[in-house]
Chains A and B, each alone.
Chain A
Amino acid sequence: MSTPTDFLLWVRGPGFDIALVIFILGAIIRLMEVLVLGRKPDYADPRNGELGPGVRTLFTRTLPEPGSFKRSPFTVVGGYVWHVGFLLSLLFFVPHIELFHGILGLRWPGLPSNLVDAAAAVTIVTLIAVLISRLNHPVKRYLSGPEDYLTWLVTFLPMLTGYLAYHRMINPYPLVLGIHILSVELLMVVFPFTKLMHAFTFIIARWYNGAMAGRRGVQS
């Protein structure tokens, strides 16, 4: 790796392949494990259907529960802001859409780069704020382990390096773009083995809660 271009070519070539293999294999194996393991059969007569409440809970649990909002508004608002900003940056920045098109063959309209840039800036600031809150709040700090800090770091780095790359704050550009892609590869490698899997498992969990409540005829 004698030049920044060589570095960029490695992270876009073999580096990306390695990360993609670990990410896809890891995530699908873990999901399949959960799904195949299943649950004990429930022999009781269902009082109600599972489908409606299951689907409804997928959406209702996405909204903040009023009690938690009153107790810790910062955690709720901060959490929403950075999740939305992260997804906007990931899914609606045109170079990212080109990447998804290259991998999945799907393409969708992008947002103006300036708008994505603003969303990324807000996300970065919010991620720093939620980390400070985690470190300062005695209960949050008590509940946090190494995995929480690791997942914060691997989420934060792609945002930070992406911002640096977009604004070309490190020269030459192939170097900063390479660092950005490498940080995303780190996220992809860590993803299946940490709580980051919630990006997929939240669907199963929310569906299950709603479906079980529906089956028992109680409010979910």
Chain B
Amino acid sequence: MADELKRFTQTLGESLRERGVSRRGFLKFCTATASMMALPPSMVPAVAAALEQARRPSVIWLSFQECTGCTESLTRSHSPTVESLIFDHISLDYHHTLQAAAGEAAEAAREAAMQENEGKYLVVVDGSIPLANPGFSTIAGVSNLQMLEETVAGAAAVIAVGTCAAFGGLPHAKPNPTGAVAVSDIVHNKPVVNVSGCPPIPTVITGVLAHFLTFGALPELDALGRPMVFFGQSIHDRCYRRPFYDKGLFAESFDDEGARKGWCLYRLGCKGPMTYNACATTKWNQGTSWPVESGHGCLGCSEPNFWDTGGFYNALSIPESDITRSVGVLAAAGVAVGAAAGVLHRSKRANAAAKHEKVTIDDLDKTS
């Protein structure tokens, strides 16, 4: 109990030192975070001081219509790092995948956290919310919609983690049988940050948390509610294969010479030009690689409706419908209608010629 209390009142600095993180390691993290968040170097000491003194924020993690991929991404991606310790430092009071408690005890933990930290806790949501029928997804008999509305009521802010929570994601894909919607479709009176991606990059979520701990506020957001610092530039603009796009050098299959030479994957369906995310710069698995580097085009997973953008292996410029068949049908219909119209015109011309009355000079004299 005493340990628990100590953990609760510890600052982040104390917590990190207890876990053997050196001052140097901590400052390195602060510098990296400041640079990721596009803050000037002069801000690094401020970030370090603020993070050092930060108290454990209470976080309630709600999982709705999701696959747990986001949780996997965020909790298992690295061996212990400062990022994961930051994650560890937050008081994760409710997360039904990770917590030991179950059933009523788990729900009691959520309610207790909400009462104790009224107005101050963060709500993290992964998964979309079904509106077609509340029974499609429930936790302890409570519908996702009801749980979200209840939990968000006293929250400081909401972080929608993953594309399902941010934009509806896979459950929202056509024909959207559950009537899935995003968190921002329901929560209007609290700040919502969308950390999209399927799954999102772990560094991005820790970046958002670090920003919240440092400044007590959420970072600047783009038009889709995503942190500008991570989603401000497209994959295409930061892609190391971009020079090949500019030169017109494209891989045409996954095993041709172009693919082996690392040429642009646009023709193989890369959605990099329309996708805003930090994969090309932060990469995955501690900077090891990312999809395009491993030879596969970007799926556009951090964008709304990415499941419905017309096939992962179709180039971005190809329209969605089965146009090849419709072109043939249309051309045939055009020939038929055009020929019919032509025949009508011919008969009209023949009729006009047949009805044409010749006028003689005498006729003209009569009329004048």
Q: Which A positions have Cβ atoms within 8 angstroms of B?
A: 3-6, 8-9, 12-13, 16-17, 20-21, 24-38, 94-96, 98-99, 101-105, 110-115, 168, 172-174, 177
Are A96 and B317 in touch, CB under 8 angstroms?
yes
Q: Chain A's nearest CB lies how many Å from the CB of B196?
A: 11
Residues of A within 8 A of B334 (CB): 24-29, 32
Are B274 and A174 in touch, CB under 8 angstroms?
yes
Select one of B315, B316, B324, B342 contacting A32, CB under 8 A. B342
| Docked complex Cα distance between A172 and B271 (Å) | 13
5 contacts between A and B (CB under 8 A): A8-B309, A9-B305, A13-B321, A33-B342, A37-B342
Residues of A within 8 A of B324 (CB): 102-105
Residues of A within 8 A of B234 (CB): 168, 173
| Docked complex Cα distance between A110 and B318 (Å) | 16
Are B315 and A20 in touch, CB under 8 angstroms?
no
| Docked complex Cα distance between A166 and B277 (Å) | 19
Q: A5-B304, A20-B326 are in contact. Are A33 and B341 (CB under 8 A)?
A: yes
B153 within 8 A of A: no
| Docked complex Cα distance between A149 and B310 (Å) | 36
Q: Chain A's nearest CB lies how many Å from the CB of B352?
A: 13
| Docked complex Cα distance between A95 and B265 (Å) | 12
Closest residue to A178 on the B side, CB-wise? B274
Q: Which B positions have Cβ atoms within 8 angstroms of A?
A: 167, 222-224, 234, 236-237, 245-248, 250, 266-267, 273-274, 276, 303-306, 308-310, 314-321, 323-324, 326-327, 330-331, 333-335, 337-339, 341-343, 345-346, 349
Are A29 and B320 in touch, CB under 8 angstroms?
no
Residues of A within 8 A of B267 (CB): 94, 98
Are B319 and A172 in touch, CB under 8 angstroms?
no
Closest residue to B300 on the A side, CB-wise? A5
| Docked complex Cα distance between A111 and B267 (Å) | 14
Residues of A within 8 A of B337 (CB): 25, 29, 32
Residues of B within 8 A of A94 (CB): 248, 250, 266-267
Are A112 and B274 in touch, CB under 8 angstroms?
no
Majority secondary structure of chain B interface residues (helix, strand, loop or mixed): helix
Are B330 and A25 in touch, CB under 8 angstroms?
yes
Are A36 and B346 in touch, CB under 8 angstroms?
yes
Are B341 and A9 in touch, CB under 8 angstroms?
no
Are B318 and A99 in touch, CB under 8 angstroms?
yes
Residues of A within 8 A of B224 (CB): 3, 172
Q: Chain A's nearest CB lies how many Å from the CB of B252?
A: 9
Q: Chain A's nearest CB lies how many Å from the CB of B325?
A: 11
Select one of B223, B321, B342 contacting A172, CB under 8 A. B223
Closest residue to A102 on the B side, CB-wise? B318
Residues of A within 8 A of B250 (CB): 94, 110
Q: A32-B334, A37-B342, A168-B234 are in contact. Are A110 and B319 (CB under 8 A)?
A: no
Q: A37-B346, A102-B319 are in contact. Are A29 and B246 (CB under 8 A)?
A: no
| Docked complex Cα distance between A110 and B264 (Å) | 14
Residues of A within 8 A of B273 (CB): 173, 177
Are B303 and A24 in touch, CB under 8 angstroms?
no
Select one of B223, B274, B321 contacting A177, CB under 8 A. B274
- Beyond A16-B321, A20-B319, 18 extra complex contacts between A and B, CB < 8 Å: A5-B274, A5-B309, A12-B319, A12-B320, A13-B320, A16-B319, A20-B327, A24-B334, A25-B334, A29-B337, A33-B338, A33-B342, A35-B338, A38-B346, A101-B318, A102-B315, A102-B317, A103-B319
Are A98 and B330 in touch, CB under 8 angstroms?
no
Residues of A within 8 A of B223 (CB): 4, 172
Select one of A3, A38, A105, A113 contacting B245, CB under 8 A. A113
Are B343 and A36 in touch, CB under 8 angstroms?
yes
Are B320 and A9 in touch, CB under 8 angstroms?
yes
Of listed A94, A105, A112, residue having the most chain B CB within 10 A: A94
| Docked complex Cα distance between A9 and B324 (Å) | 18
Q: Chain A's nearest CB lies how many Å from the CB of B99?
A: 34
Q: A8-B274, A36-B346, A112-B248 are in contact. Are A28 and B338 (CB under 8 A)?
A: yes
Q: A94-B250, A177-B274 are in contact. Are A36 and B339 (CB under 8 A)?
A: yes
Residues of A within 8 A of B343 (CB): 36
Residues of A within 8 A of B316 (CB): 95, 177
Closest residue to A12 on the B side, CB-wise? B319
Are A17 and B326 in touch, CB under 8 angstroms?
yes
Are A110 and B248 in touch, CB under 8 angstroms?
yes
Residues of B within 8 A of A37 (CB): 342, 345-346, 349
| Docked complex Cα distance between A218 and B321 (Å) | 51
Are A13 and B342 in touch, CB under 8 angstroms?
no
Are B304 and A112 in touch, CB under 8 angstroms?
no
Q: A8-B274, A174-B274 are in contact. Are A28 and B331 (CB under 8 A)?
A: yes
| Docked complex Cα distance between A6 and B337 (Å) | 35
Q: Chain A's nearest CB lies how many Å from the CB of B307?
A: 11
Are B342 and A35 in touch, CB under 8 angstroms?
yes
Closest residue to A8 on the B side, CB-wise? B274
